[in-house]
């Protein structure tokens, strides 16, 4: 083993920018501060290099925590070619886009009282039931614009919803023609609203309808990169997509707070993904452990600053 790169002490200055702070963390290079600085380098390369198809995975309750705006901005700037999300994040994106809000609350509360006050809690974020009333009205109206007896894919359904919104992730994706895949859309309020509408209408959503489109993207990619916020279905859907091709991902950044030793995908290391061929042997990868509401904005602010 060699000891040839010293840890440099960080000195904080009043005029420091985020980029200069990340640079200081890079020169220290230790623990998750060092991993975060490497995530900035890898994401920056992935965003800037021509010929890279950039996949973005969005899991966890990120939109309720205010992170959805960053995703929209990345799509607007051309840094996301494919988005894979949980249905919950897209539900909350619609709620914000129709003029409802998530509210700052507290985790030190009486949840039975919140239930009686018709307030739903996501850790320290509150969402009143009235938002879901507005959401239902919007969804039922939007679904009514799809011709009866239609058979559509999940991504086409999401593009249709986005085309009826003026802001947010779905709206930006629809305008920029960026595909959004949501393989577990049934596991969301969007899924429940579709089920409700289908009781009296004949629209069919083809659960496998997106696979051809996804595989076409994978086979046509010169190189592929993945930025994964959280794990779950979006992470696996993205990583497994390259298995049918002759290559894996050349770049991968993962933000997670989960442990690898419990066997769950959300905590699985990107090195483990190499054993499956999902990530190339010589791929540039990093996992940053911590709260994504801290690490995600810092990484993207530093990338944009550079």
The catalytic residue positions are 278
CA-wise closest residue to 138 among 175, 116, 105, 168: 168
The 10 Å Cβ neighbour count of residue 299 is: 26
CA-wise closest residue to 161 among 87, 229, 104: 87
**Alpha-carbon gap, residue 247 to 222, rounded angstroms:** 9
Q: Give Cα 128 to chain centroid, integer Å.
A: 24
CA-wise closest residue to 178 among 35, 74, 250: 74
60, 75, 254, 265 from 257: Cα distances, Å: 11, 25, 10, 12
Tokens representing 169 are 């992730």
CA-wise closest residue to 129 among 165, 280, 121, 284: 121
**Alpha-carbon gap, residue 242 to 116, rounded angstroms:** 47
CA-wise closest residue to 80 among 294, 225, 214: 225
CA-wise closest residue to 143 among 101, 94, 182: 94
């Amino acid at each position: 083993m060699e000891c040839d790169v010293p840890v440099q002490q960080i000195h904080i200055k009043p005029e420091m920018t985020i980029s200069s702070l990340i640079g200081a963390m890079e020169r220290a290079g230790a623990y998750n501060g060092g991993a975060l600085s490497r995530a900035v380098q890898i994401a920056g390369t992935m965003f800037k290099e021509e010929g890279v198809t950039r996949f973005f995975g969005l899991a966890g309750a990120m939109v309720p925590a205010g992170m959805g705006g960053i995703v929209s901005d990345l799509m607007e700037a051309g840094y996301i070619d494919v988005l894979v999300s949980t249905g919950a994040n897209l539900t909350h994106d619609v709620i914000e886009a129709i003029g409802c809000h998530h509210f700052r609350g507290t985790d030190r509360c009486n949840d039975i009282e919140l239930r009686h006050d018709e307030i739903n809690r996501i850790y320290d974020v509150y969402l009143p039931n009235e938002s879901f009333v507005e959401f239902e009205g919007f969804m039922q109206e939007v679904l009514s614009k799809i011709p009866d007896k239609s058979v559509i894919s999940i991504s086409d359904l999401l593009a249709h919803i986005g085309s009826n919104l003026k802001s947010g992730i779905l709206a930006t994706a629809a305008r920029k023609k960026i595909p959004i895949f949501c393989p577990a859309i049934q596991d969301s309020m969007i899924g429940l609203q579709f089920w409700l509408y289908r009781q009296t209408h004949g629209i069919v959503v083809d659960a496998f309808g997106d696979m051809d489109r996804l595989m076409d993207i994978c086979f046509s990619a010169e190189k592929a990169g993945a930025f994964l916020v959280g794990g779950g279905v979006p992470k696996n859907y993205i990583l497994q997509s390259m298995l049918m091709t002759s290559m894996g991902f050349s770049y991968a950044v993962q933000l997670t707070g989960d442990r690898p030793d419990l066997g769950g995908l959300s905590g699985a290391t990107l090195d483990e993904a190499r054993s499956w061929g999902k990530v190339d042997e010589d791929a540039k990868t990093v996992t940053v452990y911590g709260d994504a509401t801290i690490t995600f904005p810092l990484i993207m602010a530093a990338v944009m600053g550079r």
